[in-house]
Structures are given as structure tokens and as C-alpha cells.
Structure 1
Amino acid sequence: MKYTSEARLYEIYRQHPRVRIDSRSVEPGDLFVGLVGTQVNGNAYADKALTRGAGFVIVDDPTVVVAGDERFLLVPDSLVALQGMAISHRKNQRMPALAITGSNGKTTTKELARAVLARQYTVHATPGNYNNHLGLPLTVLGTPKGADILVLEMGANHQGEVAELCMIGRPTHGLITNIGEAHLEGFGGIAGVIAGKGELFDYLSTNRGVAFVNANEDYLSEMASKNGRVIYFQDSEVPDQEVAAIEIKVFSVHPRIHVGFLSSTGELIEAKLNLSGQHNLQNVKAAICIGKYFKVPALDIAAALRAYEPTNHRSQYLETGAVTFFWDAYNANPSSVVAAMESFSANHKPADSVVILGEMLELGPIAGVAHREVAFQAGKAADTVVFVGEAMREPAREFQRPWFADSFGLTDWFWQQDWSGRTVFVKGSRGNKLERILQGAPVSQ
């Protein structure tokens, strides 16, 4: 039984440019790729994809191939085939690609950059959190005709992953949001995070790409020291067109971020956003820098920033019945938890606040110390503090706070309480599934 060549696969993709890896989402004419995951073997659903109208199916299990049916494309490894098609497609693209990685703020920065660039260009950006070895090639393959710029989010929890994503996405421009305490278990400490995230700057240096560098963040300037093409941005009380860096004036970060930056004619343009906090400020500054570099008019940059609304459980104020939540529970690591709590406590008195913290995952040896530290900081932010998850059990015992093993128990307890006049801050790693609190709200609320 013959394997299908890379050239043939790409030819078929060009004829069937909608690529699916979930047979349930297949529509007539799609190209289905059967991937083997930890829970699902996509090869087993190839026939279902054909029944739903797929033009071709790519599989790496010869036992599912129906003899004589040319719609089955057999390959040694379906994941390698998917990534190979994306590499071929990216090589044929001529538009610039902006890659965004970092410990915190990747998705918010991506969405802000997308909003700013979209004022001037047709932008294709990573949907949701499609930022890994599956999502990024799907993003590249999903590029619509007429796109001017790609914005690719790159997530990683081990060294080598960003380098692999760069080989697929071939970025021409790149930004590292920051270096923090995320995925320390996989990276092996801060030095490992620097090396892993720095793979983006390494790729750009080798390929004469442009690195955007936030001079106000630790580590980044040094990490970009070998790059030949660097655009710096930084805070300034009096922005100046004559300095090398793009300068941004910060009026406030609470209760809303308020910034100013210079237009091409030297006029100070201001924007107030529906975001707050120092951690979000860095994301906003990055979007301004990117917009100015790509020559988006200053008034359009400001308009895009003002119109931006946070979504997907990131720095959102949500009203559920009589309860107001400050919801930032998409993900969590020590630095992002502390930053978000500082932002929250700047606008809310401890007596009027409730803090719910879920455990932080993938911290490795520092997990115990890190959970104790964020638990201690939570006690300064709110009079009422609640912990969720096994790693929070000991801090809850030490500080004598309510503790729940999971979000099911938390939800049942939460809606039995009276939170009138209080604002509830929620933060935790994605695995805690803290959104169950919202789903469990009584109908009468």
C-alpha cells in the first residue's frame, strides 16, 4: 500500500482548503485529517468524515483504508502530514506573519494587535487558543484569500516547542510579551522559560526578522541583544519622536487603562480602554507599537483600543443575577495571579471583595511555595478568600480559609451564600473549570 507524497497532499489541500480534525465538523468538500490523540483515534472516524461529505481523508492507519477508494490518503504520520501541508502553504505565502509568545498575556495581546491591524489590513489571526502544534498549522492552512497579515499566537510548555512552531509559521515579525512563572515544571525554571520563549527571537535573528521588545519588561532587551532588527517600546512621561524607541505615556491603569502616544505629526493621541491593571497595560503598549510599525494611523489605533472588549474569561466584569464577578480564570501562574489581584484590589476594598483562587498547574518544585505566596497575597486583597484544588489544600488550612477539592463543591456552596454588595474575583488554571460557578447560578438570581 503506497504512501501519499507531500507534493500530492499539498495539491489536494489546494483543491480542498478547509481542513478538519474533528469529523463532527466536516462539511462537503473538506479535507479531514485523522489524528491519534490521548483519548481519540481520528483514523477511526475517517469513514464518518467521508459520509459527511469530506473530499479526502488523511490517515496513518492502513487498516482503515478501503481498497480502491482514492479518497483515502495514507501517510506515515498524520500529524507530520498536517504540519507539512502548513509548511508548504506558508512558504507560498508572501504576507508578513507576526508571532506572539510569552508567559502571560499572549491571547489578549494577539486580540489587541488583531483589532489595531484590522483598521488598515485584512488580518488572519489564531482563533481562540489554537496556539500549539495542532492549532498553529490549522491557522496557517485556514488563511483566507486576500489576507494581508497573519497574527500567530505560539504557546509552549517545553523548550523546543516555539522553535518547532516557528518552522511551521515562518514568522517575519515577533513579540515576547514577558517572562514569568508559567509552565515551570516543563521548562525547568526561569532560565528554561527564557531559553524556550527566546526561541522566537533566535528564529527572527537567523531569518532577518523584526523583534518587538518591551523595554519595561525584565529579560527581554537582553534576550534580543543578538537581533539585528529590533523595535523597542517603553513608557515616557513626555513621548518624543526623536528617540529610537516608540514611547507611550501612561496616564492611569486603574480603574481603566488610559494611555497616550504620538501620531506621525507629533500630536499626542489618547485612548481609554475597557481594561485595567499593569499587566494589561503591557499588552496595550505592544499593540500600539505594532500598529505604529505597520503604519496604522494613530487615530485608528486609538479607536481600535477604545472599542476592544475583553472576552473568554479574561479580565471581564460579569453580572450574574445579583453577583458581580471580576473574571480572569482562563489560566493562571504565580506572576499573573499576583498582577491580576493587584489590579483588582486597586479598585475594590477588601471588605467589599471576595477572592476565589483555583490551583495553578505545571509549577514543578516551586508549587508549594508559590501557592502559599498567592494565598497570602489574596488575604490582603479581600476579607473573604476561598481556595480550590489539591495544591490549595495546605494554604487553606494554614490561613484558615474555605477549601474545595473541585469546582463542583465550590459551586454548590457559593450559591448558598449572600454576596450582596460584594465583587467576586475569580482566578485559576484552566483545569479548575471555575466557569462552573457561572453555569450553576440559580434561575432566580
Structure 2
Amino acid sequence: MRLEKLHALFLEHPIICTDTRKIVENCLFFALKGPNFNGNNFAKDALEKGAAYAIIDEKQEEAADNCLLVEDVLETLQKLSIFHRNYSSAKIISLTGSNGKTTTKELINEVLSKKYNTIATKGNLNNHIGVPLTLLSIKNDTEIAIVEMGANHKKEIAFLSNIAQPDFGYITNFGKAHLEGFGGVEGVIKGKSELYDYLISNEKYVFLNADDDIQRDKLGHYVKKFGFSKERPDYYNITFIEANPFVVIEVEDERIETQLIGKYNFSNCCAAILMGKYFNVAMDDIKSAIGSYQPQNNRSQIIDKNGFNIILDAYNANPSSMTVALENLQLMDAQEKTLILGDMFELGSDAEKEHQTIADLAKNLGFTNVLLIGENFCRANTSFKKFKSFDDLKEMLIKNPIKKCTLLIKGSRGMALERVLDFL
């Protein structure tokens, strides 16, 4: 089927579904494949549930007229998203980085939506399927689309950049995330910088944290850039006031009190402020957007429960984000502090070393009440209590409840440490 014809059908049925459990009336069902499923086998079910058309790449015995056969469903989805991106007049802001992508994306959206019709990546749909779905959510009246791009190996950001074709881009930071796929920190820097490579080669605009030596050096004398800094006079100045526990910022003599904990969220706020400034959003609106934003989905959430002051940061973890989380807790005013730390995934051959480093850091920062969960942390040489599985931790929590305290809960998504809340 020609792409132009498929796009015309999409304009008539502008909702994409890839899961028959979530079919929306008159949607287009794309029969994607995965390691454990084949969407082609569910095309008939999708149509019976109300899909207008099913896009398939395997002939079905009972294929109806509204089953559209293509060579490759995933590739067709990606090509359709590129076609729609170029059909739309919306400006695209892409962002990537090791830590803080989703929070930064949401802050940018909060700020820019004060003046413009915006859409942004939902949740963390930031891969080779999520980016196309985000682009296909652009409506006729969308003025700015904020597209988050994730990666766990080199060439992935380059691939996603060629799909999104951003007009603007921002990299949050370069950290120790997905070291297994990237082959080390240098691989992370090279992989994430593929966004810079795209923007520079296409003469697009770059936003940057000018206090990050890597970002500043990589952009060199590139002209189309706009950066923020705490002290460099040739960049837009934003001042960090404190994070005890919430981040407080000063910009253009305006004090912004956020609901985000941790100094590590300062640069995330700065990126959103910088883009608001570039796109001429009024400072009062920028201040309101940043000040009212509250994190959700287990990302640095502050929860008061049964006398506990909980920092729930269980959405993801890597050595960089774990380090700043511990450093932030050490600076907080609280008499009793307890840490429940879960394994960090996708570290490859660096896993043992990095988990040992975090255990050592917790000790050096003066923490005494530390519970470590997971096979990697169990290999660490430390006097802290270690639990091979969550069930082992659960058993201990039931028999020996934690005393009321300020409690940091942090680990990789696969550890699902938010379950701790049920046993406090």
C-alpha cells in the first residue's frame, strides 16, 4: 500500500492501537510482532472489537477487506510517522540523556503549554515504537511536540533522530546508564551525542547545560545554540538557591520554589526555563509551571505514610542517579534516615564494581540503616544487611518493622521496590 494512501486513512482514523486489549473504536490496528507474540494473529479480533483497519504483514486465512497487507508492519509504522511529521507544521523538540529525560520532558511541556498547543511523549514511550507513536499523536493544531528518545546502545539515537527529525534538541546529561549496551561511559557519550550529530549536520538549534563540560566542548563553536549556566556570563544565568529538600531557583530576580527534591533536578528545571525563555513564554507563566509541577510514577515522589517521610524513586536506577540520590539524602535535615536500595540493571561486566561503589558510598556518607536488595548488591563486600530477593526483604519487614524515619527507596524498574510501601 502506498504511504500517501495509508496516511489519508490515518487522517480519517487518527488513533493508533497496537494491543487488542486496548482497542479504540475506529482506530488503526498495527499488528506488531515481539519475542512472545505475533500481532497478525490478533487482526481479526481487533476488527471485531471496532478497529477500522488492521495493518498486517502476514496473510490471514480469514482476512477481510479492511486488513491491509504490508511488507513489514513496524517499518510501515515508522515510515507513516515520518510522513506525518513532515505533513505537520509542528516544531519538534527532541531530548535524550542518561538521567532525567522524562522529568525534563514533562517540565518542558508544562512551561510551553502555557502559550502553545503542545503534545509530549506519554510515559516513557521513547523507543523505536514509542517515538513513532508520539509523532502520530500530533494533531492539526499542535504547535510544538516534545519527543523523548531513549537508547541502550549506539546508533539508536541516530535512528530515532532520523525518524523525529527534530528542529531543536537537548541532552540532559551523560551518565553510567546502559553500560552493557553502550560498552562503557565513552560509548554512552558517543551514543547520546548522536542527537547533536543530527542537529549540527542539519543546522538545527541546540539547547545545552553550559556547566556540563562535555556538552560545552562537544558543541564548540557551533552557532545555533542557547544554553543556561549558574555562573558563565555568556549564557543565560539561572541561580541554584537550595534543595532542602525541594529545589529553589532564582532567575531574572524571580524566586521559583519547586516541588522537586534533589539538586539533580536543578538542571531539569533549568532546561524547561531556558526553552520557555527561547519561545517567549512570560516569566510569570514559567514560574507557575515550574512551581506547580509534581513528579509522579515513582520518580522522586515525596510520600507521607504512617509517620514515614518517603522518597520513592523506584522507577529506574543507574550508578549516576543512585549517587546523586544518596548525596541528596545526606544533605537533607532528618534525624533518622533509612535506605532501601535495589539492584541496578544493564551494567554488564561493570555490575559488581558499580554496586560495590554504591555500597561504599553509602558507608562513606555516614548512613548506617541501609538495606540492599538483589543478587548484585548481595555480592558487595559490606556490613549492611543484604537480601537476595524482594521476598526476603518482605519477610524481614514484617517481622522487624522499620522505625519511622526519612526513607529513600531506589532501584531499577525490574526490582519494583514501590512494593515496600505495602509493608511499612
* TM-score for the superposition, normalised by structure 2: 0.96
Shift of 1:8: 2.6
Give 1:358's aligned residue. Answer: 342
Query: Could you list the runs of 5+ residues in structure 2 that have no partner in the other structure?
Result: none
In 1, Cα distance between the equivalents of 2:219 and 2:366? 36
- Whether the 8 Å contact between 1:201 and 1:227 is mirrored in structure 2 is no
In 1, Cα distance between the equivalents of 2:399 and 2:151? 39
Shift of 1:189: 1.2
Give 1:66's aligned residue. Answer: 62
Where in structure 2 are the equivalents of 1:147-158 lying within 5 Å? 147-158=142-153
In 2, Cα distance between the equivalents of 1:144 and 1:84? 17
- Whether the 8 Å contact between 1:65 and 1:72 is mirrored in structure 2 is no
1:396-417 Cα deviation digits (max 9, x unpaired): xx21222222223323322433
Query: Does 2:39 correspond to 1:49?
Result: no
In 2, Cα distance between the equivalents of 1:114 and 1:229? 22
Where in structure 2 are the equivalents of 1:418-429 lying within 5 Å? 418-429=401-412
State the one-letter code of the partner of 2:350: I
- Whether the 8 Å contact between 1:353 and 1:381 is mirrored in structure 2 is no
1:74-106 Cα deviation digits (max 9, x unpaired): 111111011011000001111211111001110
Out of 149, 160, 168, the position equivalent to 2:163 is 168
Where in structure 2 are the equivalents of 1:44-443 lying within 5 Å? 44-62=41-59, 64=60, 66-67=62-63, 69-225=64-220, 227-236=222-231, 243-262=233-252, 268-349=253-334, 352-379=336-363, 380-395=365-380, 398-438=381-421, 440-441=422-423
State the one-letter code of the partner of 1:189: G
- Whether the 8 Å contact between 2:228 and 2:270 is mirrored in structure 1 is yes
Q: Percent identity?
A: 37
1:238-275 Cα deviation digits (max 9, x unpaired): x9xxx53111122112222111112xxxxx11101111
Query: Could you list the runs of 5+ residues in structure 1 that have no partner in the other structure?
Result: 263-267
- Whether the 8 Å contact between 1:322 and 1:420 is mirrored in structure 2 is no
Describe the SS at the equivalent of 1:152.
strand
Shift of 1:171: 0.6
1:33-55 Cα deviation digits (max 9, x unpaired): 01111222111111111110100
Describe the SS at the equivalent of 1:435.
helix
State the one-letter code of the partner of 1:423: T
Give 2:29's aligned residue. Answer: 32
Runs of 4+ aligned structure 1 residues displaced above 4 Å come to none
Give 1:265's aligned residue. Answer: none
Shift of 1:175: 0.3
Describe the SS at the equivalent of 1:219.
helix
In 2, Cα distance between the equivalents of 1:61 and 1:163? 29
In 2, Cα distance between the equivalents of 1:423 and 1:411? 19
Describe the SS at the equivalent of 2:33.
coil
| Alignment RMSD (CA, Å) | 1.6
State the one-letter code of the partner of 2:193: G
In 2, Cα distance between the equivalents of 1:166 and 1:12? 25
* TM-score for the superposition, normalised by structure 1: 0.92
Describe the SS at the equivalent of 2:259.
coil
1:384-438 Cα deviation digits (max 9, x unpaired): 111111111111xx21222222223323322433333312111111111112222
